[in-house]
Chains A and B, each alone.
Chain A
């Protein structure tokens, strides 16, 4: 059954899909948004760890909708739920922490800056920071971002202040400021996609402390579910369909996208014809959708004549350490330990790009400081440990009592993930999800430089923590990957033989097909990329509205 044709069909309602829906709806085009997940309302967001963090409220179950993941092409795939972001209206922006950094000018020309890097498929972007900057301004204003720009060696140029003043921070932030200053580094306020004041009819943050991993019950977190989607629906031109899983994008005889086949919330197959199709399901899932959209014209998957769809997958390189302060020992001397304020909001970017490669790398990244997440089950499972060293009984309860007496300050590293030919998405012919659709298979083969950079950053972060004189500093790891930050599977570029999308994120091979999640990014930058994805989507929408209006 085919539904009436619309101007634009957008698949996905997160950081990429929502700006398109809003701008196209505002411009008067008829838009359908297909979202595979549910449409949660603020009252559905409850501080219930089991609900939010330990079941399929946000993430699909790995035995129903697995990703296959392997490290190296010689290993076996494991079924996993890694590399999913939230499946619901708003996507990953619903349960994000909302660290809203911008990329820096160097991120747009990393290949030119570093030269050829052996073992990496590094490429420059076809646009500059200056071309994206106005759309960063727009994304910050539309979503609602709180922050304060301060000068530092890697500060990206801005046209003005943030739309909202910074959130209140915990007193430990000024301790971090002092520690950094003593070392000649710059402690920067971290901009957040959380509103600090009433903004466009939304209530400000209530400082509840359960932010990342949770939906925001007050709507202060600037997920697209709280900001762009309601505005898009208010245009009257946008038809949002939750519970609708896209199966393929179909093409006509000329090789133009003509419709999206999807399973509706009752499991019935529907066909939605559209003049333009916009794909925005995350870098992994968008690649999967295109690779599953085979036809006589595109036997290897839609827009994949080049064979590049799914290639050059990027996550973010991750490391972290924890500093523990015992309140009973230190509380007297440091009364601020008992302050309940949830936000630290401090970053260090002094090592974003090193002047030479004496440490084995040049492109470093960002350190973000925060209090450890207060989820008690998660914390207790960590305390219990696993394998033969797992604790139970009194030993476990003693650890839990120690935890009660602790405040745990940590940092996270967001370091460059160099693109390699060994890290990519393909689809599995043998493994299908509960809808009967072949699942995404992810192969990861990391560049050794990533680890050198991440380790270096972890060591710098520990220097800051140690200056605060905690009872204990514990390194969690330097070889992690943040798989909710996804990019690169449909690189944009000017050369159709070396990229999937053109500079407007339109497929080189399919003139009415756009991809606007993180897939377009040839390099991921060394910050969380949510704001960049939204800004780019506003940029693409600006272009598309003009193109469609002729």
Chain B
């Protein structure tokens, strides 16, 4: 929001986010070669991915300055998304063997 036609948007944050995304990509690849224990490796990789995704959503997708209606819509989606992700845990104790 707050962007009006004819005015040059400030592109500095986009370049900074770009540099941050590249750096985080290098870090996540480098870490994967360290062969950390499974749980640590998963936690770290997902943490880095979440930070990268948040940068894309907040800056490139302008969620930092977006209207409440859009944010509420996304919050609702996020709730359902996490609900769907939790469904597989209901099978715990009954492992699939393939």
| A, B in one complex | no
Which residues of chain A have a CB within 8 Å of any CB of chain B? none
